Amino acid sequence: MKINVIYFAALREQAKKSQEFVETTSTNASELMLELYEKYHFTLDQTMLKVAINDEYSSPSTLLKENDTIAFIPPVAGG
């Protein structure tokens, strides 16, 4: 299925892009994260990432749907 992936901070720098449509057989966010780690060799510890699907924090086990927008959220540092 086609998923819109958005990258931020260190992930954006290492993927060298801010966003992409990914065609994937991954069924949930956690599987997609592994797939993208293999593709881009992100150096950030995966356990430090939160998942956001369609602008809402979500569990990594959340099942993905066609055209979902997913972001893997590095530790935030606003304020």
The residues binding another protein (CB under 8 A) are 6, 8-10, 12, 48, 50, 52, 55-57, 71, 73-79
| Nearer of residues 25 and 77 to another protein, judged by Cβ | 77
| Nearer of residues 25 and 46 to another protein, judged by Cβ | 46
Q: Which amino acid is at 51?
A: V
| Nearer of residues 22 and 44 to another protein, judged by Cβ | 44
Minimum CB separation from another protein for residue 8, in Å? 6
CA distance 42 to 15: 8
Strands (E), 14-77: 19-23, 50-53, 56-58, 69-73
